[in-house]
């Protein structure tokens, strides 16, 4: 079995673009990816596109054909929706199509427009990724849900708000040289601890921002990349997906993410690697506690040990297990439908030696991307490797 290659990438700046439409944002990212790849647009055989709240934020469903039109493609176009894991799911399907031989070139990406509906509107739109009957109607929001998860973690394993503050400080530091990041602002542990409380124990700096943006990548079969002499040394060698019960009260644990663990196990087995082989990771840190849960779900840390990883400097670019060199959702930003592919882009740049942090991770050969939906009722995991 040959592994699909990442042959080109494109990304908008993440941040506030309330004056632009989703199709405008995706056109920028998609055309940039095609240009970066060197692939003839006529060779693209499909568009797989992630988006979550288009109906609410832009009163626009059925977005995939619009996005194909925006980048000048006349190909079958499919929208994937898995809450915040929407474009992660799109990547997984693209990988499966390329492996099967059904296609040789697929444009995969996603976009989200959120700031135009304001904080209250975006919070309401995001909430529909939770269980409407048993969570939303009771007033549950995602800051509240992740606060419950953080408190459960603290009770079981220990940990403090200061430990979470180190996660935020680390990811803001990583975002500083990222020209596409939304929050290129250094913060201190004191800044994080003194910020307004959102949902105890989570404060303002424990949460990712509301973000507009788009991402895109051209994935090709290894055979196509070789035949067309493409500069495509990074491959997606493993893919996995998992699900969990939607409502928190129906789960066996609040402090674990079985969907992510199942996705990781599948992706590792698919790639023929294990957690010990991973050199760098991009994980879904919509809240600081989410990064802690993610690194444990991926097997990078034992249960209860992820909480001190940032404090000890282990997950910094200069540490033993760099996590979220892009700045993560926390500082890079989180345009929901674009996040999964943005993670793939970040790891491609790291493994290709084109990241601002490449000198610190020069020996990285294996990366893992973890994209989660809601309170991790959905999760995708992808293993990426440098091919000789």
Q: Which two tokens stand for residue 320?
A: 């033993």
Angle, vertex CA 311, rays to CA 305 and CA 315, nearest 5: 75
What was the pLDDT predicted at 110?
A: 98
Instruction: Band the pLDDT of 253: cuts 50, 70, 90.
Output: confident
Once rounded to an integer, what is the mean pLDDT over residues 97-120? 97
Q: One of 17, 174, 316, 334 is an active-site residue; which one?
A: 334
Write the CATH number of the domain with boundaries 5-118+209-386: 3.40.47.10
pLDDT at 361 over 80: yes
Annotated active-site residue 84? The verdict is yes
Mean pLDDT, rounded, of the chain: 97
pLDDT in tens, 172-218: 999 999 999 999 999 999 999 999 999 999 999 999 999 999 999 99
What was the pLDDT predicted at 355?
A: 94
Annotated active-site residue 284? The verdict is no
Would you list the domain boundaries of the chain? 5-118+209-386
Q: One of 84, 97, 286, 370 is an active-site residue; which one?
A: 84
Task: Give the Cα separation of 38 and 348 in Å (integer).
Answer: 16
What was the pLDDT predicted at 1?
A: 66
Q: Beta strand pairing status for 105-112 and 46-50?
A: parallel
Instruction: Band the pLDDT of 268: cuts 50, 70, 90.
Output: very high
Task: Give the Cα separation of 361 and 49 in Å (integer).
Answer: 31
Per-residue CA distances from 348 to 8, 104, 115 (Å): 9, 19, 28
pLDDT at 293 over 70: yes
Give the strand order in the sheet containing 280-282: 77-80, 46-50, 105-112, 213-220, 5-11, 234-243, 378-386, 366-373, 280-282
Nearest residue to 57 via CA among 11, 106, 124: 124
33 neighbors 10 (Cβ within 8 angstroms)? yes
pLDDT in tens, 59-106: 999 999 999 999 999 999 999 999 999 999 999 999 999 999 999 999
């Amino acid at each position: 079995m040959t592994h699909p290659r990442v042959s080109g990438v494109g990304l908008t700046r993440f941040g506030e673009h309330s004056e632009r439409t989703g199709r405008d944002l995706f056109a920028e990212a998609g055309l940039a990816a095609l240009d970066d790849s060197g692939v003839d647009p006529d060779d693209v055989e499909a568009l797989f596109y992630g988006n979550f709240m288009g109906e609410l934020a832009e009163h626009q469903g059925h977005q995939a054909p619009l996005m194909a039109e925006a980048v000048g493609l006349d190909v079958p176009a499919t929208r994937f929706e898995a809450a915040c894991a929407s474009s992660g799911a799109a990547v997984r399907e693209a990988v499966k199509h390329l492996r099967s031989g059904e296609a040789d070139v697929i444009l995969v990406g996603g976009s989200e427009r959120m700031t135009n509906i304001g904080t209250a509107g975006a919070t309401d739109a995001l909430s529909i990724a939770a269980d409407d009957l048993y969570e939303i109607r009771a007033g549950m929001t995602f800051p509240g849900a992740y606060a419950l998860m953080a408190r459960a973690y603290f009770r079981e394993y220990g940990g403090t708000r200061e430990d979470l503050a180190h996660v935020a400080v680390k990811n803001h530091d990583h975002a500083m040289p990222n020209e596409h990041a939304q929050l290129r602002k250094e913060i201190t542990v004191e800044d994080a601890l003194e910020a307004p409380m959102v949902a105890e124990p989570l404060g303002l700096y424990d949460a990712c921002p509301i973000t507009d943006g788009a991402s895109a990548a051209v994935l090709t079969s290894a055979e196509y990349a070789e035949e067309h002499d493409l500069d495509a040394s990074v491959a997606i060698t493993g893919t996995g997906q998992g699900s969990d019960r939607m409502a928190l009260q129906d789960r066996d644990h609040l402090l674990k993410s079985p969907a992510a663990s199942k996705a990781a196990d599948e992706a590792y087995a698919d790639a023929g690697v294990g957690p010990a082989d991973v050199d760098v990771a991009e994980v879904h840190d919509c809240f600081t506690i989410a990064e802690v849960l993610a690194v444990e779900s991926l097997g990078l840390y034992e249960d209860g040990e992820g909480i001190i990883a940032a404090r000890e400097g282990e997950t910094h670019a200069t540490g033993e297990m760099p996590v979220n060199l892009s700045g993560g959702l926390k500082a890079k930003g989180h345009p929901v439908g674009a996040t999964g592919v943005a993670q793939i882009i970040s790891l491609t740049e790291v493994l290709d030696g084109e990241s601002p942090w490449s000198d610190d991770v020069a020996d990285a050969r294996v990366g893992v991307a973890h994209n989660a939906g809601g309170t991790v009722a959905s999760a995708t995991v992808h293993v990426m490797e440098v091919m000789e």
